[in-house]
Chain A
Amino acid sequence: AQSVTQPDIHITVSEGASLELRCNYSYGATPYLFWYVQSPGQGLQLLLKYFSGDTLVQGIKGFEAEFKRSQSSFNLRKPSVHWSDAAEYFCAVGLYGGATNKLIFGTGTLLAVQP
């Protein structure tokens, strides 16, 4: 069955430090992959997505993610974290076909940013 695993429930980084959030997926074919961010009291916002092409994908807010098929991973990175990046981050895989059109989300990683 298709699934997404985010091994880190909670991460704390210092402002200005680099960030990497891990995501592993289980999917039988080439996956459609997404990263979303959810700030407190807000809905989810799409950061970036990947299906094919260059395995390094650029997104909004200075985020990027790298698809590694051999590791079934799609890790999210940012070279220098800002205090406003504190939020919960969700990795997701898209399921499509026939009437199916849905996202399967991981359990999320809560990011705290220290001054």
Chain B
Amino acid sequence: DTGVSQNPRHKITKRGQNVTFRCDPISEHNRLYWYRQTLGQGPEFLTYFQNEAQLEKSRLLSDRFSAERPKGSFSTLEIQRTEQGDSAMYLCASSSDGSSYNSPLHFGNGTRLTVT
């Protein structure tokens, strides 16, 4: 178990640029989640996948955000035309089948995005 891996750890970008983050889940986990954490707040749910199917998306995920998990393994989160309000820590988590109660989430260390 090598844990959930997120890359890059830090990303600084200028407003209006596009950014893409990658998440590699624990290999046997077929569920993958994205959360966003802003300063002074708890993590907020963005979306989750069961294998390659995106099953739920938060209203926080505006049309500038897109997440994919093309082969049911790693996932990418892309933000187009970044805004300063997108500055946050983006957390990825994975789990095996079942609810997050029965199959606890394993979180990565996050990607910290700063939009200048």
Interface residues of A (CB under 8 A from B): 4, 9, 32, 34, 41-46, 49, 51, 90, 92, 94, 96, 99-108
Name the distance in Å between B110's Cβ and chain A's nearest Cβ. Answer: 6
Instruction: Answer yes or no: B62 CB below 8 A from chain A CBs.
Output: no
- Name B99's contact: one of A9, A42, A92, A101 (CB within 8 Å): A101
B100, A101: Cβ atoms under 8 Å? yes
B48, A43: Cβ atoms under 8 Å? no
Q: Is the interface of B mostly helix, strand, loop or mixed?
A: loop
A108, B42: Cβ atoms under 8 Å? yes
A44, B43: Cβ atoms under 8 Å? yes
In the complex, which residues 15-50 of chain B have their Cβ closer than 8 Å to any Cβ of chain A? 31, 33, 40-45, 48
Interface centre among B43, B93, B109 (most CB of A within 10 A): B43
Neighbouring A residues of B4 by C-beta, 8 Å: 43
Interface residues of B (CB under 8 A from A): 4, 31, 33, 40-45, 48, 55-56, 58, 91, 93, 99-101, 104-110
A46, B104: Cβ atoms under 8 Å? yes
Name the distance in Å between B62's Cβ and chain A's nearest Cβ. Answer: 18
**For the complex, what is the distance from the CA of A90 to the CA of B109, rounded to whole Å?**
16
A105, B109: Cβ atoms under 8 Å? no
Neighbouring A residues of B109 by C-beta, 8 Å: 41-43
**For the complex, what is the distance from the CA of A34 to the CA of B93, rounded to whole Å?**
15
Neighbouring B residues of A96 by C-beta, 8 Å: 99-101
